Amino acid sequence: MLHGYFNNTHVTLMITFLKTKAYKEYLSRRDIMSTDNKSGLFRSYSFLDRIITFTEKIMLIIAATCIFLMLLSIVYGVFSREVLNAPVIWTNDFAGYLMVYSVFLAAPWILKHDGHVKVDLILGILKGKVLKFMNCVIFAVSAIASFIFFWYSLKVTLSSYSRGVVLLDNIPWPEYLLLLPLAIGTFFLTIRFLLLLIKELLTFKTTANIDIDVPEIQAR
C-alpha cells in the first residue's frame, strides 16, 4: 500500500485528519516525547531541525513561485504569438528550467512531510523495534544515495561554472545556474534523511511509534 502517495495527493483528507482525535493524540504524544527528553542530544537535534525546517520552507516558497512563473511564462508565450503576433521563443525553455528548480527545491520539504511515494507492503506489517530498525536502514541508505547524487551534481555544476559554459540557445543562460538546483535540493535531502535517522535513533528505545500510519478517517 502506498503511504506517501496517499498522504500527499489528497490534501483534503489530510485536513480532515488534522481535525481528528487521532491527530490530537499524536500531537500530545509528540509533546510528551519532546518534554521528556531534555537531554543535550535532543536539544541539539531539535535546534538543527528547526533551522533546516525553516530553510525547507524558504525553498518551498521559491518552488511555489517557480510554478506560477512557469504558468505566466507559457501563457505569455501563447499571448505574444497569437495576440501580439510577435512570438517569443524563450518561454518553453524557461518553463522547463523553472520546473527543474521547483522539483528539486520542493523535494526536501516533501520528504519532511513523508510525501515521497513508497510501497509499504512490508513496512506496514512491521512493528516496534523491527520497524524502527528498518526505517533506520532506509534513512541511512537514502542519505548516502542523496549525498552521492549531491556530490556529483556539485561537481558537474562547479565544472560548468569554472569552464564558463553558456548555452547557445535563444537566451545565453549560464549552464551552472540551470544545474544548481540539483545540488541544492539533494544537499538538503541528505540533511533531512540524516535528521530522520537521528530522530529514529534517539527514540529507538521508546516503543511508542511516533510516526503515524495511514489515518483511519471518518467522513464528515
By C-beta, is 143 or 198 nearer to another protein? 143
Show contacts with another protein in window 129-188 (CB under 8 A): 134, 137-138, 141-142, 144-146, 148-149, 152-153, 155-156, 163-170, 175, 178-179, 182
Of 29-37, 49-57, 120-128, 202-210, the window that binds another protein (rule: CB under 8 A) is: 120-128
Show contacts with another protein in window 60-79 (CB under 8 A): 60, 63-64, 67-68, 70-71, 74-75, 77-78
By C-beta, is 104 or 187 nearer to another protein? 104
Selected binder of another protein within 118, 136, 161, 209 (CB under 8 A): 118
By C-beta, is 67 or 201 nearer to another protein? 67
Q: Does 54 bind another protein (CB under 8 A)?
A: no
Selected binder of another protein within 48, 116, 201, 203 (CB under 8 A): 116
Q: Are 70 and 98 in contact (CB under 8 A)?
A: yes
Q: Are 186 and 105 in contact (CB under 8 A)?
A: no
By C-beta, is 52 or 62 nearer to another protein? 62
Enumerate residues 6+ apart whose C-beta is below 8 A from 128.
207, 209
Burial class of residue 191 (count of CB atoms within 10 Å of its CB; 0-12, 13-18, 19+): buried
Query: Can you tell me the distance from the alpha carbon of 154 to that of 183, in angstroms, rounded to the nearest whole number?
Result: 5
Q: Does 210 bind another protein (CB under 8 A)?
A: no
* C-alpha cell, 135: 526505517
Q: How many other C-beta atoms can be found within 10 angstroms of the C-beta atom of residue 139? A: 20
Q: What phi and psi, each to the nearest 5 degrees, are found at residue 174? A: -70, 130
